[in-house]
Amino acid sequence: MTIDLLILARWIITVDHDNKILPLHAVAVDKGIIINILPHNDALRQYQATQIVELPDHLVCPGLINAHTHAAMALLKGLADDLPLMEWLQQHIWPIEAQLAREAFVYQGTQLAIAEMIRSGTTCFNDMYFFTQAAYEAVHESGIRANLGLILIDFPTAYAPDVAGYLQKAQELIHIIEPDLLVTASIAPHAPYTVSDESLQALHGIAKQYGLSTHMHIHETAVEVQQALEQSGVRPLTRLNELGLIDEHLMAVHMTQLNDEEIALLAERHSHVIHCPESNLKLASGFCPVQRLLDAGINVALGTDSNASNNDLDMLGEMHTAALLAKMVAHDASAVPAQQALRMATINGAKALGLQNKIGSLEIGKQADMIAVDFGVLEAKPLYDPVSHLVYCTNRQQVTHSWVAGKALMTKRQLLTLDEPTLHRNAEHWQDLIAKRDHT
């Protein structure tokens, strides 16, 4: 049988229901779909492939899913480090965005972020930012998979003058994105403290009309929760529940402040939590109780947050941090083992995005979103458990290949859909411009 692509690897990590680790196996791909996973010799006998990729020292696994970021903020990396969240936002990030965040900023910033994500193993990301059509253009041209948030915030920006403007742009973007097989949309109200009840209800109406999920920062800090209590007498999650937003379509980001009743509510409603450990640590926002959420049956995925609050978009690093931090928070060395951390970065992200039937694991019938990681390097020796190695001692420089729906986005660390010299020039242009505007 003639097929498009045959990948022969040292290990295939499926992240399927049984978490299979398959040594000396191959992935057969045709028309972007995984049609078989089988031993090397059987694959070579059964298939004639247009392209054969031999990876004798590599692990092949599902592409990583960055379930929360603000991609265009790659241009703000390192701008205002070592500051509390609200000072960081109000005195640095928001003023620069007000001056400079326009279509070109978003397009070129998103391109830079996509390049970093591809080079560190991400094949799908969940975004929230302004000028979403510019982000969409960068995504579409690159060939990466993405879910783009239709943002709403209750004050005027260069993107929209008022709530009606945000809602109009959301509906326009739905129709632009809808035909793209690699791009989906969600509604993205920024946070409970920046969006009113009326705005939330209006945006939620659009979500119900088009069958979209909700992507929102919630319970990010203790201050946020305390201010809500002082102003309204209820915690943000209680308010969102009263508005009907706590359901199976909710992607609740950060969630560092949770009590037992709230965990039970999230579990009952089958909501998803997006954990961003490194951003939370850097901004001293708090600790998401990951193991408690998992024990309650809640789907927990991983995100990096933005380059401005994390300084990288490295999901391998995020897995590592998530696994270690969870053990300390739970006071249990067995909390969030390596296999669980990998699931949080792959299939759990797919579930949060409603894409679990397409991506997130390597299984027959799913789309071929995959990465290859080189374990032939000295730092990977000796090796007893490839999944443990992937989480605890692998860095992003070891990611050598990336495919989305069977299309190669990177081969031997060479980007195939983005021009690196152009990315360098654009980043240096914005660096000079932003440095002149920020008063750090």
Q: DSSP label at 143?
A: T
What mean pLDDT comes out for the span 102-113?
Answer: 98
CA distance 26 to 234: 54
Q: pLDDT band at residue 354, thresholds of 50, 70 and 90?
A: very high
165/167 Cα distance (integer angstroms): 5
Spatial contact of 251 and 126, defined as CB atoms under 8 Å apart = yes
Mean predicted lDDT score pLDDT of the chain: 97
Q: Could you read off the pLDDT of 386-408 as tens digits, one per residue?
A: 999 999 999 999 999 999 999 99
Each residue of 43-75: pLDDT tens digit? 999 999 999 999 999 999 999 999 999 999 999
Phi and psi at residue 12, to the nearest 5°: -110, 120
d(C-alpha 148, C-alpha 185), whole Å: 5
Residue-level pLDDT at 436: 86
3-state class (DSSP) for residue 173: helix
Q: Which two three-digit tokens encode residue 164?
A: 């009606």
Domain 64-352 has CATH 4.10.640.10: no
Contact 405, 368 (CB under 8 A): yes
Q: Round to whole Å and give the CA distance between 335 and 290.
A: 9
Mean pLDDT of 291-299: 98
The DSSP result for 51-114, as a single string, is EEEEEEEEEEEEPEEEEEE-GGGGGGTTSS-S--HHHHIIIIIHHHHHHH-SHHHHHHHHHHHH
| Contacting residues for 24 by C-beta, under 8 A, at least 6 apart | 10, 39, 40
Instruction: Residue 62: name the closest of 26, 19, 7, 14 by CA.
Output: 14
Name which of 338, 280, 326, 269 is nearest 304 in CA terms.
280
Q: How far, in Å, CA of 23 to CA of 59, rounded?
A: 9
Q: Is the CB of residue 120 less than 8 Å from the CB of residue 319?
A: no
pLDDT of residue 439: 62
Could you tell me where the DSSP H helices lie in 149-297? Answer: 163-177, 197-210, 222-232, 236-242, 260-269, 277-282, 290-295
Class of domain 2-62+370-404: mainly beta
**What is residue 85's predicted lDDT score, i.e. its pLDDT?**
78
Model confidence over 68-99: pLDDT tens digits? Answer: 999 999 999 999 899 887 888 888 998 999 99
Peptide bond into 39 cis (omega under 30): no
Residue 84 CB neighbours (<10 A): 12
Q: DSSP string spanning 290-347? A: HHHHHHTT-EEEE----HHHHS---HHHHHHHHHHHHHHHHT-TTSS-HHHHHHHTTH
Segment 145-199, tens digit of pLDDT: 999 999 999 999 999 999 999 999 999 999 999 999 999 999 999 999 999 999 9
Model confidence pLDDT, tens digit, residues 241-251: 999 999 999 99
Indicate whether 332 pLDDT > 80.
yes
CA distances from 31 to 4, 28, 141, 293 (A): 7, 10, 19, 38
Give the CA distances from residue 414 to residues 119, 197, 315, 400, in Å, rounded to whole numbers and listed in that order.
9, 47, 19, 8
Task: Give the Cα separation of 200 and 205 in Å (integer).
Answer: 8
Q: What pLDDT is attached to residue 329?
A: 97
Encoded tokens for 416: 């195939």
Q: Measuring CA to CA, how many Å separate 246 from each of 32, 194, 201, 225? A: 35, 18, 13, 17
Output the CA–CA distances (angstroms, integers) from residue 146 to 65, 127, 276, 432, in the order listed. 9, 7, 18, 29
For range 1-25, the mean pLDDT: 98
**What kind and span of H or E run contains 23?**
strand 21-30
Domain boundaries along the sequence of the chain = 2-62+370-404, 64-352
The SS3 assignment for 163 reads: helix
Instruction: Please report the pLDDT score of residue 176 as a whole number.
Output: 96
Average pLDDT of the residues in 369-390: 98
Taking only the tens place, the pLDDT of each residue in 261-275 is 999 999 999 999 999
Question: Does the pLDDT of residue 17 top 60, yes or no?
Answer: yes
Please say if the pLDDT value at position 38 is more than 60. Answer: yes
Predicted local distance difference test score (pLDDT) of residue 183: 98
Q: Is the pLDDT of residue 440 over 80?
A: no
